[in-house]
Amino acid sequence: MEYVIEMLNIRKEFPGIVANDDITVQLKKGEIHALLGENGAGKSTLMNVLFGLYQPEKGEIRVKGKKVSITNPNIANDLGIGMVHQHFMLVEPFTVTQNIILGNEPTKKGKIDIKKAEKEVQEISDKYGLKVDASAKISDISVGMQQRVEILKTLYRGADVLIFDEPTAVLTPQEIHELIEIMQSLIAEGKSIILITHKLKEIMQVCDRCTVIRKGKGIGTVDVADTSVSKLASLMVGRDVVFKTEKKPAEPKETVFKIENLVVKDSRKVSMVKGLDLEIRAGEIVGIAGVDGNGQSELVEAITGLRKSESGSITLKNKNIKNLSPRKVTESGIGHIPQDRHKYGLVLDYPVGANIVLQTYYKKPYSKASILDYKEIYKKAKEIIEEYDVRTPSEFTKARALSGGNQQKAIIGRELDRSPELLIAAQPTRGLDVGAIEFIHKRLIEERDKGRAVLLVSFELDEILDVSDRIAVMFDGKIVSTMKPEETNEHELGLLMAGSKASGAGESHDKE
């Protein structure tokens, strides 16, 4: 058999845990091979072993049938292994070419020969149909383009095997489509690809075979042609998974939340929200679909008081909440699951218990006359930990020590416990695995069924289509179209998100 890469019975231990236990992955020449597993299953560890960042305790790695010992990333590079990282490693003020040659610059008489390098980069880009402008500045090109620069970088260094780490997390549906085309043209040119992902649909679409990892153990390798999304999911999680979130039709009541002609500027004083209108009724989930950077973050920050609004109005139950302090906004009945849970949602160095009272610590019974009552605080924390299934050694454990999914559950527990009139959930499932996503979606729908208003902001179209009762597409600081999820599809949404004119179906719902 012609395997380009073989990782046989790999075992990697860290103090106290076995991250990889007897995992075997064999990559055939010219195939796209998926590496599937939940967060924390050990995918990244395994790839770091292949990339020379970790040394395995047991097992061997073979490249083209020859046993090799990869003790550092340079050796991996020399063996033709390249990695396209999830978080791009690019220098923003540099051009594409400057980024690509960074680390092994071609020189002529001691000066960097940028002309020659630019020509080479452009040639590779054209060969694989990447459509990258070699002289463009990184800060001027889109996220999708930046990812292609990462691909170019590995190709420039002569990679035959490309590892893609969650490549679609930051892309629009159209960009994902283009990425798949690029992958296929790479294969056509004789490259081989390992795709790290937990998105099952993508695997079904592009991969030839799939190796599943669960809790550090290799579960096995399957031919994608012989499997299905639900089979893959149960292999990954170890139990059956419900995909379509079950929910009754919404029973929306009166309008509780209203935004009119809102204008918000970002910290560079550029308008990001440009005269936006939005209404949410009690008992419905409104999902905002849009590509990152179209004003969603500024909108959420303006509602929650973290950012000043320039003009327009925001009302909750007919009371003005525009430009109130975050505390006043919270007290007026808004719950906020922030987009960046590490930056905003938690004080990571505080125990879970202290994080549970982050907005209520100054109130009874958690404190009296400015003196904290830890007994009450930890009692509450214990309640929430139990009710929201937060897996933590105890309520005294630092929030930092929890996995992403459990941190998010703690935040959701905290926000829902105040039973807010309006719950804002910004990217509530980003980076989480199937099990946690299922749980969070269920909670959002429960909240709706209790007659609360929910605003969901997400870059994942599946999530928007699945959970929302009404979809509002946001583009360039405005809601360009609103519609019911059953009246649209991913393709139409993708076009609207990219700024094309609204189709007839969307338009009719635009003005309610």
Partner 1 sequence: MTKSNKLFTILIPIISVLLGLIAGAIIMLISGYNPILGYTALWNGAFGDAFTMGETVRRITPLLLTGLAVAFAFRTGLFNIGAEGQVIVGWLAAVWVGLAIDAPMIIHLPLAILASLAAGALWGFIPGLLKAKLGVHEVIVTIMMNYIALYSVNEIIRNVLTEQETTTDAISPSASLASEWLQGLTYFSRMHYGILIALFAAVTMWFIIQRTTIGYELKAVGFNQHASKYAGMNVSKNIILSMVISGAFAGLAGAMEGLGTYGTISIMSGFTNLGFDGIAVALLGANNAFGVILAAILFGVLKEGAGQMPTGAGVPTELVDIIIALIIFFVASSYIIRWILLRFKKEGK
Residue ranges in contact with partner 1 by CB under 8 A: 16, 304, 306, 325-331, 336, 338, 343-350, 354, 358-359, 361-362, 367, 370-372
* Residue 120 or 417 with smaller CB distance to partner 1: 417
Query: How far apart (Å, rounded) are the C-alpha atoms in residues 23 and 28?
Result: 16
Query: How far apart (Å, rounded) are the C-alpha atoms in residues 184 and 209?
Result: 14
Which residues have CB under 8 Å from 318's CB, separation 6+? none
* Residue 172 or 407 with smaller CB distance to partner 1: 407
Least distance to partner 1 from the beta carbon of 59, Å?
A: 22
Least distance to partner 1 from the beta carbon of 257, Å?
A: 19
* Residue 117 or 424 with smaller CB distance to partner 1: 424
Tokens linked to 413:
């527990």
Q: CA of 192: how far to CAs of 47, 86, 188, 211, 230, in Å?
A: 15, 18, 9, 15, 26
* Residue 178 or 373 with smaller CB distance to partner 1: 373
* Residue 16 or 93 with smaller CB distance to partner 1: 16
Least distance to partner 1 from the beta carbon of 405, Å?
A: 19
238 in Cβ contact with 41 (< 8 Å)? no
Please give the span between the terminal C-alpha atoms of the chain, in angstroms, as a whole number: 62
Q: CA of 422: how far to CAs of 258, 286, 447, in Å?
A: 11, 11, 10
* Residue 242 or 361 with smaller CB distance to partner 1: 361
445 in Cβ contact with 247 (< 8 Å)? yes
The DSSP H or E segment spanning 471 is strand 470-475
Least distance to partner 1 from the beta carbon of 320, Å?
A: 18
Least distance to partner 1 from the beta carbon of 349, Å?
A: 5
**What's at 24, amino acid-wise?**
T
Least distance to partner 1 from the beta carbon of 341, Å?
A: 9
Least distance to partner 1 from the beta carbon of 481, Å?
A: 30
**Which residues share a beta bridge with 162?**
82, 193
420 in Cβ contact with 282 (< 8 Å)? no
* Residue 197 or 330 with smaller CB distance to partner 1: 330
